[in-house]
Amino acid sequence: MDYKTAGVDIEVGNEAVRRIRGLARSTFTPRVLSEIGSFGGLFHLGAERVRDAVLVASADGVGTKLKVAFLAGRHDTVGADLVNHCVNDILVQGAEPLFFLDYLATGNLSPDVAEAVVSGMAQACRDNSCALLGGETAEMPGFYPEGEYDLAGFIVGCVERDAVVDGRSIAPGDVLIGVPSSGLHTNGYSLARRIVFETLGLSVDSHVPELGGLLGDALLAPHRSYASLVRPLLSGQRIKGMAHITGGGITDNLPRVLPRGSRAVVRVGSWEVPPIFEWLQSAGQVPPDDMWRTFNMGIGFILVSSPDHAGALRQELAARGGRDSRIIGEVVAGEGEPGVDYLAAS
């Protein structure tokens, strides 16, 4: 008996790495000092660019959106989802992404699938000026069902200490600027899959009139990166806080950047909720509170600023492609831990 008969084909793994190497190298900047295949990736921080550097790190996954990718046989979008999700998480604190690492684990490695996943990561890294510095491809027979895999990402970014955005200066009277999402992003898929595949009995190839196309296309719409929109707006400390609307929706994510003794009032109806959320709520008879705490409801990123700066920030967002940003609410005084209240727009 040998390793191959036990389920691990080293040559297949080497072939996957060979394909991945070129994709990763396409994201390298002059600050990358190592090659794919090293035990550790080397990255030169570039102290001449940042006087008082603070490193910002985050890790995340794609969740059960992967199940939709398996059903559709499409694997490049989830790689981009992973990178963009991580980029947004550190953008909240004002950080520029430096490098990204991935972890791809599967039962039996397919070089074609691995190449597709990493191609999506590499494209997103290039789009976000972030180096795909390295990663791990793990083949674990018997651990994952045939044809399935798991995916995780790890990002490191940098921001000058006096430019960290932490929400401390947020005060009653500040306004909430909502930037639209591109769909479900990477959250709420356990509920969405139960509604569409189990309750409705649909497939990824089902045409859904309410969505204007195939169900698989709607569910696999890539998670949007907000870096190119938001980073140019960070100078001048006009943005007091930011929230990436992921698992937990606005309900759980916006309070993470609000100071104690404040609350957010979100004006429901101040933006148009995309059809996919209304369709899921109706088809699954999902209570409104669950919708707001499970999905982003069409708002993927929130900026908090004083009313004096809000107009200019929205104009700058529009100039960079964020034409659908909205004032979706405001900050008010509260007691104890921050929270969110939903009120109908006047």
pLDDT band at 287 (very low <50, low <70, confident <90, very high): very high
Residue span of the structural domain in which 155 resides: 10-163
Which of the 8 DSSP states describes residue 51?
S
What are the φ and ψ backbone dihedral angles of 177, each rounded to 5 degrees? -105, 115
Q: Taking residues 133-148, report their average pLDDT.
A: 93
pLDDT band at 16 (very low <50, low <70, confident <90, very high): confident
Pairing label, strands 262-268, 340-344: parallel
Q: In this structure, is residue 3 part of a structural domain?
A: no
User: Do 210 and 120 belong together in one domain?
Assistant: no
Residue of 286, 280, 283, 317 lying closest to 302 (CA atoms): 317
User: Do 143 and 180 belong together in one domain?
Assistant: no
Q: In this structure, is residue 299 part of a structural domain?
A: yes
Q: In this structure, is residue 168 part of a structural domain?
A: no
- At 182-239, the pLDDT tens digits run 999 999 999 999 999 999 999 999 999 999 999 999 999 999 999 999 999 998 899 9
pLDDT at 47 over 80: no
Q: In this structure, is residue 123 part of a structural domain?
A: yes
pLDDT at 262: 97
Q: In this structure, is residue 326 part of a structural domain?
A: yes
User: Do 216 and 284 belong together in one domain?
Assistant: yes
- The residue type of 217 is D
Calpha distance 1→179 (Å, rounded)? 57
What average pLDDT does the structure give for the chain?
Answer: 94
User: Do 146 and 199 belong together in one domain?
Assistant: no
Q: Please, how many CA atoms are within 13 Å of residue 277, restricted to the half-sphere of its CB?
A: 23
Calpha distance 312→321 (Å, rounded)? 14
CA 67 to chain centre: 17
Q: Taking residues 118-124, report their average pLDDT.
A: 97
Domain's final residue, options 163, 187, 214: 163
The residues, ordered by sequence, that sit 6+ positions from 168 with a Cβ below 8 Å of its Cβ are 259
- Contact between 92 and 243 under an 8 Å Cβ cutoff? The reply is yes
Domain's final residue, options 110, 137, 163: 163
Which of the 8 DSSP states describes residue 187?
S
Calpha distance 99→248 (Å, rounded)? 27
Domain's final residue, options 101, 133, 163: 163
pLDDT at 99: 97
Domain CATH number, residue 234: 3.90.650.10
Calpha distance 279→299 (Å, rounded)? 17
Q: Other CB atoms closer than 10 Å to residue 243's CB: what's the count? A: 25
The residues, ordered by sequence, that sit 6+ positions from 74 with a Cβ below 8 Å of its Cβ are 116, 216, 220
pLDDT at 8 over 80: no
Q: In this structure, is residue 283 part of a structural domain?
A: yes
pLDDT at 3: 64
Q: In degrees, to the nearest 5, what angle opens at C-alpha 79 toward C-alphas 78 and 81?
A: 60
Domain count, the chain: 2
The residues, ordered by sequence, that sit 6+ positions from 236 with a Cβ below 8 Å of its Cβ are none
Q: Taking residues 298-309, report their average pLDDT.
A: 97
User: Do 68 and 197 belong together in one domain?
Assistant: no
Domain CATH number, residue 157: 3.30.1330.10
Which of 63-72, 77-86, 138-147, 246-255 is predicted with the least confidence, judged by mean pLDDT?
138-147
- At 142-184, the pLDDT tens digits run 999 999 999 999 999 999 999 999 999 999 999 999 999 999 9
User: Do 36 and 153 belong together in one domain?
Assistant: yes
Q: Taking residues 6-34, report their average pLDDT.
A: 84
